[in-house]
Amino acid sequence: MTIILQNKETLKFDDFIFKCCIGKKGLIKKKREGDKKTPIGIFSLGNLYYRQDRISKPITKLKCIPIKKEMGWCDDKNSEKNYNKLINIGKKIRYEKLYRKDHKYDFMIPINYNTKKTQLGSGSAIFLHLTENFKPTLGCVAIKKKDFLILLKLINKKTKIKLA
């Protein structure tokens, strides 16, 4: 089954419809790092990362990985080895911090965009994560926590997301 972005404000999965938000500047076929756009395509999903210190492990068929303080996601287009990958922070490279003060990444699933044969500068750290106010993202897809919990019960590691 596939999660479908019906428009800039709606995700659909099976009979479920969820309000969402996407990149501030909309959708694009040829994504670039920092363009604030959500990539167009059909992508697989990664593991579920969650803040174990704030919420208990949810019911899901996805592999669950607790977010630790030293976890980051490399968005440094000069780091060929680490670009668009989970890293331990502290290296002298740019990254998106996963252990945040806000609640955006209390639940977070990487959308597997630009992960196989990674192209430097073509966009990184594209996630399905939480939102409280539906403000546009920097390229991710975000939904409310209550909807994320419903979605987690429905999806599995074979689930895809179609962004178009």
Q: What is the pLDDT of residues 29-46, one digit of tens each?
A: 999 999 999 999 999 999
Contact 11, 20 (CB under 8 A): yes
User: What is d(CA 91, CA 35) in angstroms, rounded to the nearest whole number?
Assistant: 24
For the 2-69+98-163 domain, the top CATH level (class) is: mainly beta
Mean pLDDT of the chain: 97
The amino acid occupying position 72 is: G
Domain boundaries, the chain: 2-69+98-163
- For residue 57, the model assigns a pLDDT of 96
Question: Is residue 90 very low, low, confident or very high in pLDDT (cuts 50, 70, 90)?
Answer: confident
User: What is d(CA 112, CA 129) in angstroms, rounded to the nearest whole number?
Assistant: 14
